[in-house]
Structure 1
Amino acid sequence: MYKIVGFPRTRAMRVMWLLEELGEPYEVDPALPQSDTVKALNPSGKVPVLVDGDAVITDSVAICTYLADKHGRFTFPAGTLDRARQDSITQFGVDVLEGALWTAAKNTFIHPEDVRVPAVKDVCRLEFEQGLKTLEALIGDGPYAMGETFTIADIIVGHCSGWALAAKFDLPKEGPVYDYFKRLRERPAFQAMMAKVMEAA
């Protein structure tokens, strides 16, 4: 059984979602970021951490990539053009969408108050809004980022949409991106993951 170390209302949600999609059993140790439990596994103190037997893997994107490759699902094979495009969309989700959300979060409650720059959150909102326009072009006719195939790129981008709601960033109320996020939320594995997240809240 896989073990996820990290409070569920974090990027641990991405790993939980993928494991629900895979139908693989897992347990969650709801350790907080920077806790002794997490630092013993990841010197940065960041979550999630995946424990697979004697192996420890950090970073949600690396974990999801590892699990998808290991099980041969929700990813395209390494070395293919489809995989390169999938990785490109995944990286877009991290760099652009998550980048804006994470910078806003750090300047809201993570950094010490005396070094926060609240005004940067306006820039973050603008960058996120521009990122959603790019996302619309990337998904095209969909239904997923890689066309008919649901991949971990959708998990990374989809998680950012939930993060945006929590951070009170604007999301489309109609149109292709709205429909895309709605499709992701309607997936049974997403709903199963959210049920577990709510139980741990």
Structure 2
Amino acid sequence: MYKVIGTPQSRALRVIWVLEELGEDYTLDPAFPQTDIVRANNSTGKIPVLIDGDDILTDSIAICTYLADKHGNLTFPAGSIERARQDSFTQFAVDELEGALWTAAKNTFVHPEDIRVPAVKNVCKIEFAKALKTLEERLGNKPYVMGNTFTIADIIIGHCSGWATSAKFDLPETGTIADYFQRLRERPAYQSLLEKMKTPS
């Protein structure tokens, strides 16, 4: 059984979503960054952390990729053209969507107040809106970014959409992107993790 360390109100949600999609058993320690349990497993104090037997993994993208590859699901095979295109969407999500959200977060509550630059948040919102336009063009009329196959790239993008809502970034209410985000939220695995967040074991 896997163990996930990290509050679901963070990038740990990506790892939980992957495990729910895979149908794998896991336990969750909803620890916050820099707490003792986190620092005991990751010297940086960052979450999420995945414990798989005697092995400890960090970084949400690395963890999600590892789990998908290990279980042969939610991903295309390494070395294939499809995998390269899938990785392109994942990198786009990290660079363009998460990049804007994370910069805004750092200048809202992460950095000490005396070094924050609140005005940068307006730039972040503009960059995020541009990235959504790019995503719309790349998505086209496909149900998921890789066509009919749901992958970890969709999970990373879907997590960013929830983050954007929490951060009060504008998301389209209708159209291709709105429909795509709704499709992600309606997945049974996503609904399952929401229920578990309401009633933690």
Q: Does TM, scored on the shorter chain, surpass 0.5?
A: yes
In the alignment, which residue of structure 2 is the partner of 1:107?
A: 107
Deviation at 1:198, TM superposition (A): 3.1
- Paired letter, 1:175: G
Residues 1:168 and 2:150 aligned together = no
In the alignment, which residue of structure 2 is the partner of 1:8?
A: 8
Q: Which aligned pairs between 1:176-191 and structure 2 lie closer than 5 A?
A: 176-191=176-191
Task: Give 3-state SS (helix, strand or coil) of 2:3's partner.
Answer: strand
Task: Give 3-state SS (helix, strand or coil) of 2:8's partner.
Answer: coil
Give the ranges of 4+ consecutive aligned residues of structure 1 lying more than 3 Å apart after TM superposition: none
Number of equivalences = 200
Q: Structure 2: any 5+ residue segments left out of the alignment?
A: none
Matches of 1:9 and 1:197, distance apart in 2: 9
TM-score, normalising length from structure 2? 0.98
- Paired letter, 1:51: I
> Is the 8 Å Cα contact of residues 13 and 197 (structure 1) preserved in structure 2?
no
Deviation at 1:151, TM superposition (A): 0.1
Task: Give 3-state SS (helix, strand or coil) of 1:79's partner.
Answer: coil
CA displacement, residues 126-181 of structure 1 (integer Å, 9 cap, x when unaligned): 00000000110121111001000000000000000000000000000111000000
- Paired letter, 1:40: A
The alignment-based identity, stated in percent, is 68
- Paired letter, 2:30: P
Matches of 1:199 and 1:25, distance apart in 2: 17
Q: Which aligned pairs between 1:59-138 and structure 2 lie closer than 5 A?
A: 59-138=59-138
- Paired letter, 2:115: V
In the alignment, which residue of structure 1 is the partner of 2:37?
A: 37
- Paired letter, 2:172: P
Matches of 1:60 and 1:198, distance apart in 2: 22
CA displacement, residues 16-42 of structure 1 (integer Å, 9 cap, x when unaligned): 111110000100011110112111111
Task: Give 3-state SS (helix, strand or coil) of 1:40's partner.
Answer: helix
CA displacement, residues 27-71 of structure 1 (integer Å, 9 cap, x when unaligned): 001111011211111122110000000000000110000000000
Task: Give 3-state SS (helix, strand or coil) of 2:7's partner.
Answer: coil
> Is the 8 Å Cα contact of residues 7 and 32 (structure 1) preserved in structure 2?
yes
Matches of 1:194 and 1:129, distance apart in 2: 26
Deviation at 1:8, TM superposition (A): 1.4
Q: Which aligned pairs between 1:50-61 and structure 2 lie closer than 5 A?
A: 50-61=50-61
Deviation at 1:15, TM superposition (A): 0.6
Q: Structure 1: any 5+ residue segments left out of the alignment?
A: none
Matches of 1:142 and 1:170, distance apart in 2: 23
Matches of 2:103 and 2:84, distance apart in 1: 27
Deviation at 1:197, TM superposition (A): 2.3
Deviation at 1:199, TM superposition (A): 3.2
In the alignment, which residue of structure 1 is the partner of 2:196?
A: 196
TM-score, normalising length from structure 1? 0.98
> Is the 8 Å Cα contact of residues 9 and 197 (structure 1) preserved in structure 2?
no
In the alignment, which residue of structure 1 is the partner of 2:143?
A: 143
